[in-house]
Amino acid sequence: MIHSKISGTGRYLPERVLTNFDLEKMVETTDEWIRTRTGVERRHVCADDETTSDMCVEAAKHAMEAAGKTPADVDMVIIGTTTPDLIFPNIATLVQHRLGIPACPAIGLEAACTGFIYALTTADKYIQTGDAKCVLVIGAECITKLLDWSDRNTCVLFGDGAGAVILEASEEPGIIGCHIGADGQYLDLLYYPVGASKELQKAGTDEAAIMMAGKEVFKVAVSTLGDVASRALEAAGIEQSELDWLIPHQANVRIIQATAKRLGLPMEKVILTVQDHGNTSAASVPLALDVAVRDGRVKPGQLVLMEAFGGGFTWGSVLMRF
Ligand code: ACO
Going by CA atoms, what residue is nearest to atom 33 of ligand 1? Answer: 214
Contact 307, 250 (CB under 8 A): no
How does strand 190-191 pair with strand 211-212? antiparallel
User: For residue 201, how many C-alpha atoms fall within 13 Å in the half-sphere facing its CB?
Assistant: 0
Pocket of ligand 1 (CB under 6 A): 29, 33-34, 37-38, 113, 152-153, 156-157, 190, 212, 214-215, 217-218, 221, 251-252, 279, 309-310
- What's the CA angle centered on 79, arms 5 and 133, to 5 degrees? 35
Q: What is the pLDDT of residue 209?
A: 92
pLDDT of residue 204: 86
To the query of whether residue 279 is one of the catalytic residues in this protein, the response is yes
Of the residues 46, 56, 113, 155, which is catalytic? 113
> What span, in angstroms and rounded, lies between the C-alpha atoms of 54 and 58?
7
Q: What is the DSSP code string of 171-220?
A: SS-SEEEEEEEE-GGGGGGEE-S--SSSSGGGTTSTT-S-EE-HHHHHHH
| DSSP 8-state symbol, 146 | G
At 299 the three-state DSSP class reads: coil
The rounded Å distance from CA 171 to ligand 1 centre is 46
What 8-state DSSP symbol labels residue 158? Answer: B
Per-run averaged pLDDT (10 residues), the chain, 322 residues: 97 98 98 98 98 98 98 98 97 98 98 98 98 98 96 97 98 95 96 94 90 94 93 95 96 95 94 98 98 98 97 97 96
Q: Which pLDDT score, from 0 to 100, does residue 225 have?
A: 93
Q: Is 83 exposed, middle or buried, given 0-12, 13-18 or 19+ CB atoms closer than 10 A?
A: buried
Among the listed residues 190, 189, 251, 245, the one whose alpha carbon sits nearest the alpha carbon of residue 225? 251
Nearest CA to ligand 1 atom 26: 215
* pLDDT for res 206: 86
CA dihedral 252, 139, 12, 285 (to 10 degrees): 40
- 113 catalytic, yes or no? yes
**Rounded to an integer, what distance in angstroms lies between the CA atom of residue 264 and that of residue 309?**
19
Region of 141 on the Ramachandran plot (φ > 0 left; ψ -120 to 50 alpha; else beta) = beta
155 classed as catalytic = no
How many C-beta atoms surround the C-beta of residue 29 within 10 A?
Answer: 17
